[in-house]
A and B are shown apart, each in its own frame.
Chain A
Amino acid sequence: MPLRYGVCLFMNSQCNGADARVSAEDAMPKTPPDQVKLPDCPPHVCMEMYSQARYLSGAREMVAGIAKRYGFDDNEASRIALAVDEAISNVIRHCYHRCPDGPIRIRVWPHSQTLDSDAKGIIVAIEDEGPQIDPDSIRGRDLDDVRPGGLGVFIMREVMDGVRFERRTDLGDRGMRVIMCRAVRAPQDEDEAKR
């Protein structure tokens, strides 16, 4: 579907997160990719943008702002925004080859049982409408191989609890999706993660 504007943002006031299939417990580190699934309710927030890097800062600010409202601290919220930045940058570079008119959709859900309860984490999906590829072929590079590039997927996997690449099924033979989830850490979890 062509975008009417460079960036389009909407918030869903109808959805309650009760149907989200990914629970906060599932998202504790590290969630196997086959357990990272798209919630079967509409997203709480959705942003559509063209494949233009100038919109990356807006996407980061949106995701970081939401993550803070879901209970992440500043540092964690910026790391989640970094993972989303890397996912969108990969789409701009490798899916649309920097063509400026490729549609990208960023969808956000909380990990929560009801619409009003506190979120226990965040689920973010980034979708494109480019050619499909084998999800298993998307790998981060070996860090011992110090060279420019190839870090994005590694960073996404390092920052988030679970990352899953999959083919979209709603656009025929086009479109890929990456779903990422991250649970809010209890203070003791944070201490352990730093060790």
Chain B
Amino acid sequence: MMEVQIERRDGLVLVAPSGDIDLSCSRDLQQSMRQALDGKPERVVVDLSRVPYMDSSGVATLVEAMQIARKQSTRLILCGLQDKVRSIFEIARLDRVFTIARSLEEANTA
């Protein structure tokens, strides 16, 4: 089962899902992302270091979040991508569309 933790501090919202993200839970992530973007924070960091697997339904959720973020001038940054998750972004050529940081520290300062 996937769980999502959301933490807010000083204009930054940290979204940290854990578990596989597929069609069974991508709507939960969608709700969390909308909640994180609510209030137009300056920066939203999605820490994927505890997500071992993601399919296109999870990617679609993040694409939607990116579009909302761009419209409201929120900086959306992904970080901590594991190999299998990075792979789907590469297959879909979305690794060049998202801002992807190597670590949470880098995402917080990027």
Interface range, B side: 20 to 34
Q: Which of A20-28, A78-86, A101-109 participates in binding chain B? A: A78-86
Q: Does B59 count as interface, using CB distance less than 8 angstroms?
A: yes
Determine how close the nearest CB of chain B comes to the CB of A46; give it in whole angstroms.
22
Q: Which of B61-92 contact A (CB under 8 A)?
A: 61, 63-64, 67, 83-84, 87-88, 91-92
Q: Which of B6-14, B19-27, B34-42, B100-108 participates in binding chain A? A: B19-27
Between A and B, how many residue pairs show CB distances below 8 Å? 63
Determine how close the nearest CB of chain A comes to the CB of B83; give it in whole angstroms.
7
Q: Does A172 count as interface, using CB distance less than 8 angstroms?
A: no
Q: Does A151 count as interface, using CB distance less than 8 angstroms?
A: yes
Determine how close the nearest CB of chain B comes to the CB of A92; give it in whole angstroms.
6
On whether the beta carbons of A82 and B93 are closer than 8 Å, the reply is: no
Q: Which of A57, A79, A143, A155 contacts B22 (CB 8 A)?
A: A57
Asked if A155 meets B92 with Cβ closer than 8 Å, knowing A147-B63, A148-B60, the reply is: yes
Q: Which of A53, A147, A152 contacts B56 (CB 8 A)?
A: A152
The interface residues of chain B, by DSSP majority, are classed as: helix
Q: Which of A39-58 contact B (CB under 8 A)?
A: 52-54, 56-57
Per the CB 8 Å criterion, the residue count for chain A at the interface is: 26
Q: Which of A62-79 contact B (CB under 8 A)?
A: 75, 78-79
Asked if A57 meets B20 with Cβ closer than 8 Å, knowing A147-B63, A151-B56, the reply is: yes
Chain B positions near chain A (C-beta within 8 angstroms): 20, 22-24, 53, 55-57, 59-61, 63-64, 67, 83-84, 87-88, 91-94, 97
Which 10 residue pairs of A and B lie closest in terms of their CB atoms, listed nearest first? A53-B24, A148-B60, A151-B56, A53-B23, A148-B64, A89-B23, A148-B63, A85-B55, A56-B22, A152-B56
Told that A75-B84, A89-B57, A149-B56 touch, could you supply 8 new A-B pairs with CB distance under 8 A? A52-B24, A57-B22, A79-B91, A82-B87, A86-B55, A146-B94, A151-B60, A152-B55
6 contacts between A and B (CB under 8 A): A57-B22, A57-B24, A75-B87, A85-B55, A89-B23, A148-B60
